[in-house]
Structure 1
Amino acid sequence: MDKLELLNIIKNGENSHEELMRPFQANGSIHFDISPIHNTSIRDLNLDIIREYFLKYNTFDLYEEEKSNVERILINADILKEIDGKAMCSVGGLLIFGKSVENVMSQNGISFAHFRGDEITDELIDKKIICGRLQDIAEQTLVVLKNNMKNPSIIKELKRKEEEEYPILVLREAIINALVHRNYSILGSKIRIFMFDNRIEFHSPGKLPNTVTIEKMKIGVSYARNPFLVKYMENMRYIDQLGRGVPMILKTMKDLGAREPLLQESGEEFVLTVYKE
């Protein structure tokens, strides 16, 4: 982004920290997930969960460290960011290790709605807001989707076999992709998941980064908008391999004979639509 574009943003009133960072984030010159969150501190982090993470993936005990060293370790891990000698939570640090994330970041979380029919104007069957740390949101959202699915059964070789409307693996990948790759600098907008009779839509705030196209996504070429989130969620085995999610979703649904999932940009959102088998 050149000086003229920056001046236009300021002139148009888009002068919040998040809005000013958005163009730089889009072209990959800055990553919002390691930005500091003002008025936060180490007290906003759940040190027990951080300790468990380091014990499992870095094989050392955070609680055996001197208190003076703990903050420095978290700064080096980008969980905290040091600004003018003061340590604040990073966006990613709070999203994965925070105590009450929704109290600090209102845009965090997923808004779920289930409609009886194929249109958003049809009868609302279920509605939920799911908040917390990213890994907890992922697990809880999958449970909500499973609870809202019909599980028809068929008789095969004298045995009853339960069949799900949507493969759990596909739903899991769609949820994780939305959580990890959304644009967290867009305030006031949660991820939205709409379930209809014939499809599920995953609405993720933020346009695709400049270097990514839908056609590239289909063949596994991707760009990590939030590399901190990708790294930590990958370490915790929520992500198998960067770029693998979308091709896996497409292949799985194709193998089932379902309509090809639709990937599209709609306004300031990226939308993935998965159709029923």
Structure 2
Amino acid sequence: MTVKVFISSNQNEFFEERKLIKKELESDSMFKNYVDVFVFEENEARSLSPQENFIEGLYNSDVYIGLIGSSYGDIKDNGLSSTEYEYEIFSRLKNKQNIYFFIKDSNEREDKALDFIERIKSDTSFKIFHNTVELIEEIKRSLKAHINQSLSNQEFDFQLLAESSCDDVSKEALDLLFDSIDYQPILDLLGNRDMESILEILSLGKKDLSGTFRLNNAGALFLAENIEKFNIEHEVKLVRFKGNTKLEMIDKCYTTSPFFILLKEFEHFYWKNIKVGSVINGLRRVNIPEYPFNAIREAMINALAHRDYSFKGSFIQFYIYDDRIEIISPGNLLYPLKVSNLKNIEVPVHRNKNICNLFSKTIFMEHVGSGIQRMCDEMRKSGLREPEFINGEGFFKVIFWGPNGKLIYPEEAVDNNVLDLTKVGLNDRQIRALSRIVNEKVKYSYERYSNEFDVSKSTSKRDLNDLAKKGLVIENKSNRRNYYFVE
């Protein structure tokens, strides 16, 4: 953030002070990264007239600093001094709260200067100073308050955390972030830079006015060891319920971990609590989960990236029921988004631009604004209905309806759900037997295997034990006989 400051005064009376103010602000370690000072005599543009030059300076400035002394200044054709005219223009263009007057203590003052001071008193705030040192101290104090207020008014994920530092960063979270980045220009920039430089490149923090590096809210959410320390509304409740209601919980995990650690916890919880079937297709075993994981993970990332973090006491809910999965996040869709146009919006709308921008540079998000369509496509390819979206009162809900206990073969088998049986050292007999075990629910004993494949009992025992050791079937002893099957 750069604050552009316009210095206005009677140039003859405050010639040295104007130059000194600019020099002090632009060399001060607290202000040099935030302040750009405009003084007319050092910004004379040859292509512009003097009037065009100062008007452009006013138009581009964020803060007006006016100095008033004993003299009112030369009166222009409009009947005003340059200082009062510049004040009038800035008042029309900008917020009056961004105007700061500093009046030099004096027993002798021109009548027009006194009139101008009376006008200022009724319009805006001012401070009295007695010497140049006091003037510069007062200007710095006012600008510091202005900049801090501006920083606090920034979007949530850009706001700096006053009590944070690089010491708050989790090494595991940082390693996971680096492993996840899939954007070469950023990887090229990182190189062997120090921690502060890396985090600033990633827009996860910067130095404050005191020159101390601080994480911003996005930095804490991605990287902080203890996010709760900063009072950020960040909790995800993962729950597996029995049946289709909330009456009984089977499993739960409540987490406030930084994003990429949280996504690992989420993935573990997901695979632990959903059903996975399988079929043998030729020489491949295809595992078929109830829901396509990529679609569910996309919805979870959307919840983390787009939720409203201003809702006190709120959290993201990830609930698994027998017939569905629900993901509920605090906050409603932003205008002009509606449930009816979610798949067709051409320009992405973000509540948390910084968080979304970094996610878009990782392996977890292909294209900003395409997540809803990808969820729908993944569900359709898995033979399931498209997700249901609900924009409720203060929340946004996504419902993924399951297959109701059916095993639905997907249109496209995802690579990590496919096992090439020839690469795990199975012979032809084992592949044919496994196909019947999985697809036809056949249970093999040593005797049945020997008879069906015309092999000795020792060979059948060796083949079936090998399938069990490789985790492809379950071995169960019943009435002194071994049976091999899948659930």
TM-score of the pair, normalised by structure 1: 0.76
Structure 2: which amino acid aligns with 1:208?
A: L
Q: CA separation in 2, counterparts of 1:73 and 1:156?
A: 48
Cα distance, 1:251 vs. partner?
2.1
Q: Please give the per-residue CA displacement for 1:176-210, whole angstroms capped at 9, x wherever unaligned.
A: 11111111222321211111111000011111112
Aligned: 1:226 with 2:226: no
Q: CA separation in 2, counterparts of 1:61 and 1:161?
A: 43
Q: Please give the per-residue CA displacement for 1:106-146, whole angstroms capped at 9, x wherever unaligned.
A: 5223101111111123x211111123111121122022111
Q: CA separation in 1, counterparts of 2:155 and 2:171?
A: 24
Q: CA RMSD in A?
A: 2.8
Aligned: 1:133 with 2:264: no
Give the 3 Å change call, closer, same or farther, for CA 186–161 of structure 1 in structure 2.
Answer: same
Out of 138, 155, 161, the residue aligned to residue 31 of structure 1 is 155
Conserved? CA contact 1:109–1:137, under 8 Å: no
Q: CA separation in 2, counterparts of 1:57 and 1:185?
A: 35
Give the 3 Å change call, closer, same or farther, for CA 154–181 of structure 1 in structure 2.
Answer: same
**Structure number with bigger Rg:** 2
Q: CA separation in 2, counterparts of 1:57 and 1:179?
A: 27
Q: CA separation in 2, counterparts of 1:109 and 1:57?
A: 33
Out of 312, 317, 320, the residue aligned to residue 195 of structure 1 is 320
Q: CA separation in 2, counterparts of 1:106 and 1:35?
A: 12
Q: Counterpart of 1:256?
A: 382
Q: Please give the per-residue CA displacement for 1:12-54, whole angstroms capped at 9, x wherever unaligned.
A: xxxxxxxxxxxxxxxxx95211112232233223478289579
Q: Counterpart of 1:60?
A: 191
Q: Counterpart of 1:204?
A: 329
Q: Counterpart of 2:137?
A: none
Conserved? CA contact 2:232–2:309, under 8 Å: no
State which drifts further: 149-158 or 109-118.
149-158
TM-score of the pair, normalised by structure 2: 0.45
Cα distance, 1:236 vs. partner?
2.3
Out of 153, 167, 173, the residue aligned to residue 298 of structure 2 is 173
Q: CA separation in 2, counterparts of 1:73 and 1:196?
A: 42
Q: CA separation in 1, counterparts of 2:188 and 2:337?
A: 31
State which drifts further: 103-112 or 88-97.
103-112
Cα distance, 1:156 vs. partner?
4.3
State which drifts further: 126-135 or 101-110.
101-110
Cα distance, 1:155 vs. partner?
4.8
Q: Please give the per-residue CA displacement for 1:36-77, whole angstroms capped at 9, x wherever unaligned.
A: 2232233223478289579835242123xxxxxx64664565
Q: Counterpart of 1:217?
A: 342
Give the 3 Å change call, closer, same or farther, for CA 160–77 of structure 1 in structure 2.
Answer: closer
Q: CA separation in 2, counterparts of 1:116 and 1:109?
A: 23
| 3-state SS, counterpart of residue 107 of structure 1 | coil
Structure 2 stretches of 5 or more lacking a match?
Answer: 1-152, 404-487
Q: CA separation in 2, counterparts of 1:236 and 1:173?
A: 13
Structure 1 stretches of 5 or more lacking a match?
Answer: 1-28, 64-69
Q: CA separation in 1, counterparts of 2:196 and 2:354?
A: 18
Give the 3 Å change call, closer, same or farther, for CA 163–62 of structure 1 in structure 2.
Answer: same
The alignment of Structure 1 onto Structure 2 pairs a total of residues equal to: 242
Conserved? CA contact 1:130–1:141, under 8 Å: no
Structure 2: which amino acid aligns with 1:35?
A: Q
Conserved? CA contact 1:217–1:243, under 8 Å: no
Question: Percent sequence identity over matched residues?
Answer: 24
Q: CA separation in 2, counterparts of 1:115 and 1:204?
A: 18
Aligned: 1:108 with 2:239: no
Q: CA separation in 2, counterparts of 1:256 and 1:109?
A: 30
Q: CA separation in 2, counterparts of 1:77 and 1:156?
A: 45
Q: CA separation in 2, counterparts of 1:118 and 1:58?
A: 49
Residues 111-126 of structure 1 mapped to structure 2, 5 A cutoff: 111-121=237-247, 123-126=248-251
Q: CA separation in 2, counterparts of 1:110 and 1:269?
A: 14
Out of 239, 242, 251, the residue aligned to residue 365 of structure 2 is 239
Q: CA separation in 2, counterparts of 1:272 and 1:182?
A: 13
Conserved? CA contact 2:337–2:345, under 8 Å: no
Out of 165, 172, 192, the residue aligned to residue 41 of structure 1 is 165
Out of 242, 265, 270, the residue aligned to residue 391 of structure 2 is 265
